[in-house]
Chain A
Amino acid sequence: MVWFVMVVHGMTRPAYRLAKGVEQEMSNHEQHEQSHSSVKRKTMSRRQFLSYTLGGAGAFMAGGVVLPMIRFAVDPILQKKTGGTFVKVAEESAITSEPKEFKYQIHQVDGWYESDPVRTAWIARDQNGVIFALSPICKHLGCTVNWNSQNDNQYFCPCHEAKYSIDGKNLKVAPAPLDEYEVEVRDGWVYLGPVKANTRV
Protein backbone atom coordinates (compact mmCIF):
# COMPACT_ATOMS: atom_id res chain seq x y z
CA MET A 1 0.00 0.00 0.00
CA VAL A 2 2.84 2.36 0.81
CA TRP A 3 4.29 1.72 -2.61
CA PHE A 4 0.91 2.45 -4.16
CA VAL A 5 0.56 5.75 -2.33
CA MET A 6 4.01 6.81 -3.44
CA VAL A 7 3.26 6.07 -7.06
CA VAL A 8 0.08 8.10 -7.00
CA HIS A 9 1.89 10.84 -5.15
CA GLY A 10 4.63 11.13 -7.75
CA MET A 11 2.26 10.99 -10.66
CA THR A 12 0.12 13.83 -9.42
CA ARG A 13 2.91 16.30 -8.86
CA PRO A 14 2.59 18.08 -12.24
CA ALA A 15 -1.18 18.28 -11.90
CA TYR A 16 -0.72 19.93 -8.56
CA ARG A 17 1.54 22.58 -10.02
CA LEU A 18 -1.08 23.51 -12.59
CA ALA A 19 -3.83 23.90 -10.04
CA LYS A 20 -2.26 25.23 -6.91
CA GLY A 21 -4.22 25.18 -3.68
CA VAL A 22 -6.46 28.22 -3.44
CA GLU A 23 -5.70 28.91 0.20
CA GLN A 24 -1.98 29.03 -0.37
CA GLU A 25 -2.22 31.34 -3.35
CA MET A 26 -4.54 33.70 -1.54
CA SER A 27 -2.32 33.99 1.53
CA ASN A 28 0.85 34.60 -0.48
CA HIS A 29 -0.44 37.11 -2.97
CA GLU A 30 -3.67 38.25 -1.39
CA GLN A 31 -3.46 41.93 -2.18
CA HIS A 32 -1.87 41.48 -5.53
CA GLU A 33 -4.55 39.00 -6.62
CA GLN A 34 -7.50 41.07 -5.52
CA SER A 35 -6.44 44.10 -7.52
CA HIS A 36 -6.70 42.67 -11.02
CA SER A 37 -7.97 39.11 -10.95
CA SER A 38 -11.62 38.57 -11.80
CA VAL A 39 -11.20 35.08 -13.29
CA LYS A 40 -12.05 32.42 -10.75
CA ARG A 41 -10.53 29.07 -11.54
CA LYS A 42 -11.96 26.00 -9.92
CA THR A 43 -9.05 24.40 -8.19
CA MET A 44 -8.64 21.33 -6.15
CA SER A 45 -6.20 21.02 -3.31
CA ARG A 46 -3.49 18.43 -3.58
CA ARG A 47 -4.87 16.70 -0.50
CA GLN A 48 -8.35 16.48 -1.99
CA PHE A 49 -7.07 15.26 -5.33
CA LEU A 50 -5.10 12.53 -3.62
CA SER A 51 -8.04 11.48 -1.47
CA TYR A 52 -10.27 11.20 -4.52
CA THR A 53 -7.65 9.27 -6.46
CA LEU A 54 -6.89 6.93 -3.62
CA GLY A 55 -10.58 6.56 -2.77
CA GLY A 56 -11.47 5.85 -6.37
CA ALA A 57 -8.67 3.37 -6.85
CA GLY A 58 -9.54 1.73 -3.55
CA ALA A 59 -13.21 1.48 -4.45
CA PHE A 60 -12.29 0.03 -7.84
CA MET A 61 -10.07 -2.59 -6.27
CA ALA A 62 -12.63 -3.43 -3.58
CA GLY A 63 -15.31 -3.71 -6.25
CA GLY A 64 -13.10 -5.99 -8.29
CA VAL A 65 -12.78 -8.25 -5.29
CA VAL A 66 -16.36 -8.15 -4.03
CA LEU A 67 -18.48 -8.06 -7.20
CA PRO A 68 -17.50 -11.49 -8.55
CA MET A 69 -18.29 -13.02 -5.17
CA ILE A 70 -21.71 -11.37 -4.98
CA ARG A 71 -22.60 -12.48 -8.50
CA PHE A 72 -21.40 -15.95 -7.56
CA ALA A 73 -23.66 -16.04 -4.50
CA VAL A 74 -26.85 -14.78 -6.18
CA ASP A 75 -26.48 -16.99 -9.25
CA PRO A 76 -29.46 -19.22 -8.35
CA ILE A 77 -32.00 -16.40 -8.61
CA LEU A 78 -30.54 -15.20 -11.92
CA GLN A 79 -30.32 -18.58 -13.60
CA LYS A 80 -32.82 -19.20 -16.38
CA LYS A 81 -35.74 -21.28 -15.26
CA THR A 82 -36.22 -24.33 -17.40
CA GLY A 83 -39.86 -24.76 -18.33
CA GLY A 84 -41.40 -27.73 -16.58
CA THR A 85 -41.69 -30.83 -18.71
CA PHE A 86 -44.82 -32.95 -18.87
CA VAL A 87 -44.71 -36.52 -17.59
CA LYS A 88 -46.99 -39.34 -18.64
CA VAL A 89 -48.97 -40.31 -15.54
CA ALA A 90 -52.17 -42.26 -16.25
CA GLU A 91 -54.50 -43.54 -18.93
CA GLU A 92 -57.32 -41.18 -19.67
CA SER A 93 -59.88 -43.95 -19.28
CA ALA A 94 -58.74 -44.60 -15.71
CA ILE A 95 -59.83 -41.15 -14.53
CA THR A 96 -63.27 -40.98 -12.93
CA SER A 97 -65.22 -38.31 -11.11
CA GLU A 98 -63.85 -39.78 -7.87
CA PRO A 99 -60.30 -38.42 -7.25
CA LYS A 100 -57.67 -41.14 -7.44
CA GLU A 101 -54.08 -41.06 -6.28
CA PHE A 102 -51.39 -41.48 -8.93
CA LYS A 103 -47.68 -41.71 -8.33
CA TYR A 104 -45.18 -40.87 -11.03
CA GLN A 105 -41.50 -40.02 -11.35
CA ILE A 106 -40.09 -36.72 -12.50
CA HIS A 107 -36.52 -36.03 -13.48
CA GLN A 108 -35.08 -33.44 -11.14
CA VAL A 109 -31.83 -31.57 -11.58
CA ASP A 110 -30.50 -30.01 -8.37
CA GLY A 111 -27.18 -28.42 -9.26
CA TRP A 112 -24.78 -31.32 -9.75
CA TYR A 113 -27.24 -33.84 -8.35
CA GLU A 114 -29.82 -35.47 -10.63
CA SER A 115 -32.54 -37.70 -9.31
CA ASP A 116 -35.96 -39.12 -10.15
CA PRO A 117 -38.15 -38.46 -7.14
CA VAL A 118 -41.71 -39.74 -6.93
CA ARG A 119 -44.53 -37.23 -7.13
CA THR A 120 -48.15 -37.76 -6.15
CA ALA A 121 -51.23 -36.29 -7.75
CA TRP A 122 -54.94 -36.70 -7.11
CA ILE A 123 -56.62 -36.77 -10.52
CA ALA A 124 -60.35 -36.55 -11.22
CA ARG A 125 -62.91 -35.38 -13.76
CA ASP A 126 -65.31 -32.55 -13.05
CA GLN A 127 -68.99 -32.47 -14.16
CA ASN A 128 -67.97 -31.35 -17.66
CA GLY A 129 -65.55 -34.24 -18.00
CA VAL A 130 -62.49 -31.99 -17.76
CA ILE A 131 -59.56 -33.75 -16.11
CA PHE A 132 -57.80 -31.90 -13.29
CA ALA A 133 -55.00 -32.89 -10.93
CA LEU A 134 -54.36 -31.59 -7.42
CA SER A 135 -51.16 -31.58 -5.40
CA PRO A 136 -51.52 -33.40 -2.06
CA ILE A 137 -49.27 -30.96 -0.20
CA CYS A 138 -51.37 -29.23 2.43
CA LYS A 139 -51.30 -25.45 2.17
CA HIS A 140 -51.29 -25.14 5.93
CA LEU A 141 -47.89 -26.55 6.89
CA GLY A 142 -46.98 -28.89 4.07
CA CYS A 143 -48.18 -32.30 5.27
CA THR A 144 -49.82 -34.72 2.85
CA VAL A 145 -53.58 -34.76 2.37
CA ASN A 146 -55.73 -37.78 1.49
CA TRP A 147 -59.05 -38.03 -0.28
CA ASN A 148 -62.08 -39.20 1.68
CA SER A 149 -60.13 -40.64 4.61
CA GLN A 150 -62.94 -39.33 6.86
CA ASN A 151 -65.74 -40.62 4.59
CA ASP A 152 -66.98 -37.11 3.93
CA ASN A 153 -65.88 -36.70 0.31
CA GLN A 154 -63.23 -34.18 1.22
CA TYR A 155 -59.47 -33.98 1.25
CA PHE A 156 -58.21 -34.31 4.80
CA CYS A 157 -54.83 -33.50 6.31
CA PRO A 158 -54.04 -35.62 9.39
CA CYS A 159 -51.57 -33.13 10.87
CA HIS A 160 -53.95 -30.31 11.82
CA GLU A 161 -57.23 -31.55 10.38
CA ALA A 162 -57.31 -29.20 7.42
CA LYS A 163 -60.06 -29.98 4.91
CA TYR A 164 -60.49 -29.24 1.22
CA SER A 165 -63.36 -29.76 -1.22
CA ILE A 166 -63.05 -31.96 -4.29
CA ASP A 167 -61.85 -28.89 -6.24
CA GLY A 168 -59.22 -28.22 -3.58
CA LYS A 169 -61.07 -25.34 -1.97
CA ASN A 170 -59.82 -24.82 1.57
CA LEU A 171 -62.69 -25.47 3.99
CA LYS A 172 -60.91 -25.69 7.33
CA VAL A 173 -57.57 -24.62 8.86
CA ALA A 174 -55.66 -24.16 5.59
CA PRO A 175 -55.17 -20.58 4.35
CA ALA A 176 -55.27 -21.37 0.61
CA PRO A 177 -56.65 -23.95 -1.81
CA LEU A 178 -54.61 -26.99 -2.85
CA ASP A 179 -52.22 -26.39 -5.73
CA GLU A 180 -53.02 -27.78 -9.13
CA TYR A 181 -50.84 -29.51 -11.70
CA GLU A 182 -50.92 -28.44 -15.30
CA VAL A 183 -52.67 -31.18 -17.24
CA GLU A 184 -52.33 -32.27 -20.85
CA VAL A 185 -54.28 -35.09 -22.46
CA ARG A 186 -52.62 -36.67 -25.51
CA ASP A 187 -53.40 -39.94 -27.30
CA GLY A 188 -55.48 -41.26 -24.43
CA TRP A 189 -52.85 -40.48 -21.79
CA VAL A 190 -52.83 -37.88 -19.05
CA TYR A 191 -49.60 -35.87 -18.76
CA LEU A 192 -48.84 -33.70 -15.73
CA GLY A 193 -46.66 -30.61 -15.79
CA PRO A 194 -45.49 -28.09 -13.19
CA VAL A 195 -47.48 -27.02 -10.16
CA LYS A 196 -49.57 -23.87 -10.43
CA ALA A 197 -51.96 -22.02 -8.13
CA ASN A 198 -55.46 -23.50 -8.00
CA THR A 199 -57.62 -22.21 -10.85
CA ARG A 200 -60.83 -24.05 -9.93
CA VAL A 201 -61.92 -22.12 -6.84
Chain B
Amino acid sequence: MFKAIYNWIDERLDITPMWRDVADHEVPEHVNPAHHFSAFVYCFGGLTFFITVIQILSGMFLTMYYVPDIINAYASVDYLQHKVAFGAIVRGMHHWGASLVIVMMFLHTLRVFFTGAYKAPREMNWVVGMLIFFVMLGLGFTGYLLPWDNKAYFATMVGIRIAESVPYVGPYIAELLKGGDIVGAQTLTRFFAIHVFFLPGALLTLLAVHFIMIRRQGISGPL
Protein backbone atom coordinates (compact mmCIF):
# COMPACT_ATOMS: atom_id res chain seq x y z
CA MET B 1 0.00 0.00 0.00
CA PHE B 2 2.80 2.43 0.93
CA LYS B 3 4.68 1.18 -2.11
CA ALA B 4 1.67 2.02 -4.26
CA ILE B 5 1.37 5.51 -2.78
CA TYR B 6 5.08 6.07 -3.26
CA ASN B 7 4.94 4.90 -6.86
CA TRP B 8 1.91 7.07 -7.57
CA ILE B 9 3.74 10.16 -6.32
CA ASP B 10 7.05 9.17 -7.91
CA GLU B 11 5.44 8.73 -11.33
CA ARG B 12 4.21 12.31 -11.18
CA LEU B 13 7.04 14.11 -9.36
CA ASP B 14 10.08 11.86 -9.88
CA ILE B 15 11.04 12.10 -6.22
CA THR B 16 13.48 9.19 -6.18
CA PRO B 17 16.52 11.23 -7.29
CA MET B 18 15.81 13.72 -4.50
CA TRP B 19 16.19 11.37 -1.57
CA ARG B 20 18.76 9.25 -3.37
CA ASP B 21 20.90 12.36 -3.65
CA VAL B 22 20.70 12.85 0.08
CA ALA B 23 20.89 9.26 1.27
CA ASP B 24 23.02 7.41 -1.28
CA HIS B 25 26.64 8.30 -1.00
CA GLU B 26 29.79 6.38 -0.32
CA VAL B 27 31.25 6.43 3.14
CA PRO B 28 34.99 5.82 2.98
CA GLU B 29 36.33 2.88 4.95
CA HIS B 30 38.48 5.00 7.25
CA VAL B 31 35.43 6.77 8.69
CA ASN B 32 33.36 3.61 9.16
CA PRO B 33 33.46 2.28 12.74
CA ALA B 34 32.47 -1.16 11.39
CA HIS B 35 35.89 -1.37 9.76
CA HIS B 36 38.03 0.43 12.33
CA PHE B 37 36.43 0.97 15.69
CA SER B 38 38.56 4.06 16.29
CA ALA B 39 36.63 5.69 13.47
CA PHE B 40 33.87 6.41 16.00
CA VAL B 41 35.48 9.85 16.33
CA TYR B 42 33.93 10.59 12.94
CA CYS B 43 30.47 10.27 14.48
CA PHE B 44 30.61 13.39 16.61
CA GLY B 45 29.41 15.72 13.86
CA GLY B 46 26.41 13.53 13.19
CA LEU B 47 25.73 13.22 16.91
CA THR B 48 25.81 17.00 17.22
CA PHE B 49 23.19 17.20 14.49
CA PHE B 50 21.12 14.46 16.11
CA ILE B 51 21.03 16.33 19.42
CA THR B 52 20.31 19.57 17.61
CA VAL B 53 17.22 17.93 16.11
CA ILE B 54 16.18 16.83 19.61
CA GLN B 55 16.71 20.39 20.84
CA ILE B 56 14.53 21.83 18.11
CA LEU B 57 11.76 19.30 18.70
CA SER B 58 11.76 19.50 22.50
CA GLY B 59 11.98 23.30 22.28
CA MET B 60 8.94 23.40 19.99
CA PHE B 61 6.96 21.42 22.54
CA LEU B 62 8.17 23.52 25.48
CA THR B 63 6.68 26.64 23.91
CA MET B 64 3.25 25.02 24.24
CA TYR B 65 3.40 25.91 27.95
CA TYR B 66 6.10 28.53 28.32
CA VAL B 67 5.34 32.27 28.40
CA PRO B 68 8.14 34.84 28.06
CA ASP B 69 6.77 37.23 30.65
CA ILE B 70 8.48 38.20 33.89
CA ILE B 71 5.39 37.59 35.99
CA ASN B 72 4.54 34.19 34.52
CA ALA B 73 7.75 32.77 33.04
CA TYR B 74 8.95 31.03 36.18
CA ALA B 75 5.45 29.84 37.04
CA SER B 76 4.96 28.40 33.56
CA VAL B 77 8.29 26.56 33.69
CA ASP B 78 7.45 25.28 37.16
CA TYR B 79 4.08 24.10 35.88
CA LEU B 80 5.38 22.34 32.79
CA GLN B 81 8.14 20.73 34.80
CA HIS B 82 6.03 19.45 37.69
CA LYS B 83 2.39 19.33 36.61
CA VAL B 84 2.46 18.35 32.96
CA ALA B 85 2.87 14.66 32.18
CA PHE B 86 6.41 13.94 30.97
CA GLY B 87 7.23 17.60 31.62
CA ALA B 88 10.40 16.70 33.47
CA ILE B 89 11.40 14.48 30.53
CA VAL B 90 10.74 16.98 27.77
CA ARG B 91 12.32 19.87 29.65
CA GLY B 92 15.09 17.50 30.73
CA MET B 93 15.80 16.66 27.10
CA HIS B 94 16.13 20.37 26.32
CA HIS B 95 18.13 21.12 29.46
CA TRP B 96 20.66 18.27 29.20
CA GLY B 97 20.71 18.33 25.42
CA ALA B 98 21.84 21.95 25.56
CA SER B 99 24.98 20.92 27.41
CA LEU B 100 25.45 17.76 25.37
CA VAL B 101 25.30 19.62 22.07
CA ILE B 102 28.19 21.81 23.22
CA VAL B 103 30.16 18.73 24.29
CA MET B 104 29.54 16.92 21.00
CA MET B 105 30.36 20.02 19.00
CA PHE B 106 33.60 20.38 20.94
CA LEU B 107 34.55 16.74 20.28
CA HIS B 108 33.67 17.16 16.61
CA THR B 109 35.89 20.24 16.46
CA LEU B 110 38.74 18.34 18.11
CA ARG B 111 38.36 15.51 15.57
CA VAL B 112 38.43 17.94 12.66
CA PHE B 113 41.41 19.70 14.17
CA PHE B 114 43.52 16.63 14.91
CA THR B 115 42.79 14.90 11.61
CA GLY B 116 43.66 18.14 9.81
CA ALA B 117 40.33 18.02 8.00
CA TYR B 118 40.08 21.82 8.08
CA LYS B 119 42.92 22.16 5.56
CA ALA B 120 42.50 23.16 1.91
CA PRO B 121 40.09 22.85 0.22
CA ARG B 122 37.85 22.70 3.31
CA GLU B 123 38.82 25.95 5.06
CA MET B 124 35.45 27.53 4.42
CA ASN B 125 33.69 24.66 6.10
CA TRP B 126 35.84 25.20 9.18
CA VAL B 127 34.81 28.86 9.19
CA VAL B 128 31.13 27.96 8.83
CA GLY B 129 31.61 25.45 11.64
CA MET B 130 32.98 28.20 13.84
CA LEU B 131 29.95 30.36 13.01
CA ILE B 132 27.73 27.44 14.03
CA PHE B 133 29.71 27.23 17.26
CA PHE B 134 29.02 30.89 18.06
CA VAL B 135 25.34 30.55 17.18
CA MET B 136 25.16 27.57 19.55
CA LEU B 137 26.79 29.61 22.31
CA GLY B 138 24.22 32.34 21.62
CA LEU B 139 21.42 29.80 21.89
CA GLY B 140 22.82 28.61 25.21
CA PHE B 141 23.16 32.16 26.52
CA THR B 142 19.68 33.30 25.51
CA GLY B 143 18.02 30.06 26.60
CA TYR B 144 19.57 30.29 30.04
CA LEU B 145 17.55 33.40 30.90
CA LEU B 146 14.17 31.98 29.97
CA PRO B 147 13.27 30.14 33.23
CA TRP B 148 13.61 33.57 34.92
CA ASP B 149 14.96 32.28 38.20
CA ASN B 150 17.84 33.77 40.15
CA LYS B 151 20.47 31.73 38.36
CA ALA B 152 19.09 32.79 34.99
CA TYR B 153 18.88 36.44 35.99
CA PHE B 154 22.37 36.78 37.40
CA ALA B 155 24.03 34.68 34.70
CA THR B 156 22.53 37.05 32.16
CA MET B 157 23.67 40.05 34.21
CA VAL B 158 27.23 38.70 34.08
CA GLY B 159 26.99 37.87 30.37
CA ILE B 160 25.67 41.30 29.50
CA ARG B 161 28.36 42.93 31.58
CA ILE B 162 30.97 40.99 29.62
CA ALA B 163 29.38 42.24 26.39
CA GLU B 164 29.42 45.74 27.84
CA SER B 165 33.19 45.60 28.28
CA VAL B 166 33.74 45.65 24.51
CA PRO B 167 35.53 48.92 23.68
CA TYR B 168 33.34 51.76 22.34
CA VAL B 169 30.31 49.74 21.21
CA GLY B 170 29.95 47.71 24.42
CA PRO B 171 27.29 49.91 26.07
CA TYR B 172 25.19 49.85 22.90
CA ILE B 173 25.43 46.08 22.62
CA ALA B 174 24.43 45.77 26.27
CA GLU B 175 21.45 48.07 25.85
CA LEU B 176 20.34 46.32 22.68
CA LEU B 177 20.52 42.97 24.47
CA LYS B 178 18.65 44.31 27.48
CA GLY B 179 16.12 46.20 25.40
CA GLY B 180 16.33 48.99 27.98
CA ASP B 181 18.30 50.07 31.02
CA ILE B 182 17.79 46.97 33.11
CA VAL B 183 17.51 43.22 32.74
CA GLY B 184 13.73 43.04 32.86
CA ALA B 185 10.52 42.44 30.98
CA GLN B 186 11.90 43.58 27.65
CA THR B 187 15.09 41.55 28.06
CA LEU B 188 13.09 38.37 28.56
CA THR B 189 10.93 38.85 25.44
CA ARG B 190 14.00 39.80 23.43
CA PHE B 191 15.96 36.77 24.55
CA PHE B 192 12.95 34.57 23.85
CA ALA B 193 12.64 35.91 20.31
CA ILE B 194 16.37 35.50 19.69
CA HIS B 195 16.38 32.01 21.19
CA VAL B 196 13.33 30.72 19.38
CA PHE B 197 13.36 32.48 16.01
CA PHE B 198 16.51 34.39 15.12
CA LEU B 199 19.27 32.01 16.14
CA PRO B 200 17.52 28.79 15.05
CA GLY B 201 16.98 30.42 11.65
CA ALA B 202 20.65 31.29 11.43
CA LEU B 203 21.59 27.85 12.70
CA LEU B 204 19.55 25.95 10.12
CA THR B 205 20.97 28.08 7.31
CA LEU B 206 24.53 27.52 8.49
CA LEU B 207 23.93 23.79 8.96
CA ALA B 208 22.61 23.53 5.40
CA VAL B 209 25.74 25.28 4.12
CA HIS B 210 27.91 23.05 6.32
CA PHE B 211 26.31 19.87 4.96
CA ILE B 212 26.20 20.96 1.32
CA MET B 213 29.89 21.78 1.49
CA ILE B 214 30.88 18.46 3.01
CA ARG B 215 28.85 16.60 0.37
CA ARG B 216 30.38 18.65 -2.42
CA GLN B 217 33.94 18.25 -1.15
CA GLY B 218 33.71 14.80 0.37
CA ILE B 219 35.14 13.56 3.63
CA SER B 220 38.86 14.19 3.99
CA GLY B 221 41.24 11.28 3.51
CA PRO B 222 42.72 9.03 6.21
CA LEU B 223 45.63 10.14 8.36
- Chain A residues at the B interface, C-beta cutoff of 8 Å: 73-74, 76-77, 81, 108, 110-113, 141-142
Chain A residues whose CB sits within 8 angstroms of the CB of B181 once the complex forms: 81
Q: Is the CB of B176 within 8 A of A76?
A: yes
- B157 near A: Cβ within 8 Å? yes
Q: Which residue of A lies closest to B173 (CB)?
A: A77
Please give 6 more A-B residue pairs, beta carbons under 8 A apart, in addition to A76-B180, A110-B184, A113-B71: A73-B176, A74-B176, A108-B182, A110-B186, A111-B180, A111-B185
Pair B158/A77 contact, Cβ less than 8 Å:
no
Interface string of B185-204 (1 = CB under 8 A from A): 11000000000000000000
Q: Which residues from A are CB-within-8-Å of B176?
A: 73-74, 76-77
A77–B186 Cα distance when bound, in Å, is 13
Smallest CB gap from B175: residue in A: A77
Does B138 lie at the interface of the complex (its beta carbon under 8 Å from any beta carbon of A)? no
Can you name the residue of chain B whose Cβ is closest to the Cβ of A74?
B176
With A76-B179, A77-B176 in contact, is A113–B157 under 8 Å at CB? Answer: no
Closest A residue to B189 by CB, please name it. Answer: A111
Pairs across A and B, CB under 8 Å, 13 listed: A74-B176, A76-B179, A76-B186, A77-B176, A108-B182, A110-B180, A110-B182, A110-B185, A111-B179, A111-B185, A112-B185, A113-B70, A142-B157
Chain B interface, DSSP helix/strand/loop, else mixed: helix
Write the nearest CB–CB distance from B108 to chain A, whole angstroms.
32
| A113/B184 in contact, CB under 8 A | yes
Report the Cα distance A73→B161, complex, angstroms: 20
Q: Is B178 an interface residue (CB 8 A)?
A: yes
Measured CA separation A145–B130 after assembly (Å): 40
Taking the nearest CB of chain A, how far is it from the CB of B177, in angstroms?
9
B158 touches A141 (CB 8 A): yes
Q: Which of A108, A110, A141 has the most CB of B within 10 A?
A: A110
Cβ A142 vs Cβ B158 within 8 A: yes
A141 to B154, CA, bound (A): 10
Q: Does B172 contact A (CB under 8 A)?
A: yes
Which of B71, B158, B172, B181 is packed against the most chain A CB atoms within 10 Å?
A: B181
Return B9 CB to nearest CB of chain A, in Å. 27
Give B176 Cβ to nearest chain A Cβ, in Å.
6
Cβ of A185 to closest chain B Cβ, rounded Å: 26
Determine the residue in chain B with the shortest Cβ distance to A82.
Answer: B181
In angstroms, Cα B114 to Cα A192, docked, is 59
Nearest chain B residue, comparing its CB with the CB of A112 = B185
A81 to B184, CA, bound (A): 16
Distance A176 CA – B215 CA, assembled complex (angstroms): 53
Q: Are B175 and A111 in contact (CB under 8 A)?
A: no
CA distance A110 to B186 in the complex (A): 7
